[in-house]
A and B are shown apart, each in its own frame.
Chain A
Amino acid sequence: MATTSLTWTSDSCRRLLSCGIDSERVARFRRMARDRSRFMPFVFTSSERSRCRRLPDPAVGLCASFCVKEALFKALGSPYNFTDCEFLPGRNLGKGSFALSPRFAADHPGVMPCVKILAPVKGQCTAIVYLLDAA
């Protein structure tokens, strides 16, 4: 998978095509983090879950991951398989990034997604995904 953590700024040399934002409550992911049977394998990959389980608060990782996937969907404006986008936690949430599968790249040529993940505020995670022109 190709990894990205690039953050778009107004002086970026690449053209901004679209952006998507999503925000979720961490509490929604507590049961999923605790109970293996509630895990959603068609949303999260097993390696993603393993990474999130190693975090001090796995629910925050799952929440941030879901926000990234939803924000990417909104930026694209078309559905994709959420397992094609894997959340990669950083040393802190704001340093997180994501990896995209080769299938995603083939389905969406010419776009370069980048992400900004905001640290939880009042138990709510937020992710902003920008789609840049890859040309």
Chain B
Amino acid sequence: MPDSDKQQEAEIRALVYDFFAEECDIESSKLTDATNIIEELEGDSLMLLSLLEIVRKKYGLKIELKTLGKHLMRKPAATIGQVVDLTLKIVRHGDDIVNLDV
């Protein structure tokens, strides 16, 4: 993996962890990739949409909610690690995310 990709992945991982730490009022160090957002953090769709809005603004993306919804119906994101993967795909592929193999 090129260094720029690794850097971007680390940046997105930090963004996702910081987001859930603040939203759920929990120390970031207590979160892991296996943390279940709904069962352990009482997260919901509004939380995920808030994160997506931050990502859209930060990276200047135009991805549509309908596209994201289609992708999530095929591949749900239940854990922090899965949300990190999802966010990376959104940043790298935008609306083409729906055409990716899942």
A and B: real partners?
Answer: yes
Q: A79-B69, A79-B70 are in contact. Are A42 and B46 (CB under 8 A)?
A: no
Nearest B residue to A83, CB-CB: B65
Q: Tell which of B46, B53, B56, B65 touches A79, judged by Cβ atoms closer than 8 Å.
A: B65
Q: Which of A28, A38, A70, A79 has the most C-beta atoms of chain B within 10 angstroms of its own C-beta? A: A79
B66 touching A42, Cβ below 8 Å: no
Q: A40-B53, A42-B64 are in contact. Are A79 and B73 (CB under 8 A)?
A: yes
**Total B residues in contact with A, Cβ cutoff 8 Å:** 15
Q: Does A82 lie at the interface of the complex (its beta carbon under 8 Å from any beta carbon of B)?
A: yes
B66 touching A80, Cβ below 8 Å: yes
Set of chain B residues within 8 Å of A80, measured between Cβ atoms: 65-66, 69
Interface size for chain A: under 10, 10 to 19, 20 to 34, or 35 or more residues? 10 to 19
Within residues 14 to 73 of chain B, which ones have a CB less than 8 A from any CB in chain A?
A: 45-46, 49-50, 52-53, 56, 64-66, 68-70, 72-73
Set of chain B residues within 8 Å of A83, measured between Cβ atoms: 65
Q: Tell which of A24, A43, A78 touches B65, judged by Cβ atoms closer than 8 Å.
A: A43
Nearest B residue to A39, CB-CB: B53
Q: How many A-B residue pairs have CB under 8 A?
A: 35
Q: A40-B53, A42-B56, A79-B73 are in contact. Are A24 and B66 (CB under 8 A)?
A: no
Q: Does A47 lie at the interface of the complex (its beta carbon under 8 Å from any beta carbon of B)?
A: no
B64 touching A24, Cβ below 8 Å: no
Q: A79-B70, A79-B73 are in contact. Are A42 and B45 (CB under 8 A)?
A: no
Q: Does A98 lie at the interface of the complex (its beta carbon under 8 Å from any beta carbon of B)?
A: no
Top 9 A-B pairs, shortest CB-CB distance: A79-B69, A40-B53, A81-B66, A79-B66, A81-B65, A80-B66, A82-B65, A81-B64, A79-B70
